[in-house]
Amino acid sequence: MTARSSFIDQCGGVFEHSPWVAERAYDSGAVYDPLRCGAVHAALCAIFRQASRDERRDVLLAHPDLAGKLAIAGKLTDDSKAEQAGAGLDRLSADEHAEFTRLNEDYKTRFGFPFIIAVKGLGKDDILAAFKQRISNTQDEEFQTACEQVEKIARLRLEAILPE
């Protein structure tokens, strides 16, 4: 296995279903041994930020709805499943699930991509409050906020696999 393929295997999933971020970071020469969380995160985020708006939007679209159909069907990535479970989203009452479903649909209708938030350390009430606050953002504000959350999620995922 080459160093490139090893890096892609290890870090290619930190941006949801978007290994191209890790591939471009590696190919740019911004990734070097020893792999350290902060340096890798900086390299990946630089690539993400340089990507076209459509490419970044595709990354947003790769994220699942919170407590959505994929979660119910058991089809989340292992990372997403653990993150949502850690926030208690796998233990919602029927009424709470209905509220999440409604908010997910309202949000996607307004912005064209799923609501994204780094859920680590948050509970369902925190997430619902953020949902309700962010739905009033402008399209540009929310696109930027969602991209920032994607980068935060990537950081948290990298922290789990790389030393600081």
Tokens representing 144 are 């930027």
At the top level of CATH, the class of 58-154 is mainly alpha
**Span 78-94, pLDDT tens digits:** 777 777 777 787 788 88
Distance separating alpha carbons of residues 100 and 92, to the nearest angstrom: 9
By C-alpha distance, which of 120, 148, 153 is closest to 134? 148
End-to-end, the C-alpha distance of the chain in Å comes to 24
Can you give the pLDDT at residue 69?
53
Domain ranges of the chain: 3-52, 58-154
**Span 52-75, pLDDT tens digits:** 999 999 999 999 877 665 455 455
- Please, what are the averages of pLDDT over each run of 10 residues along the chain (164 residues)? 94 96 97 95 98 98 73 60 76 87 94 94 91 95 98 96 92
Mean pLDDT estimate for the chain: 90
Give the torsion sign (CA, 141, 107, 159, 1). negative
The verdict on whether 41 is a catalytic residue reads: no
What is residue 117's three-state secondary structure? coil
Which of 17, 41, 63, 97 is an active site residue? 63
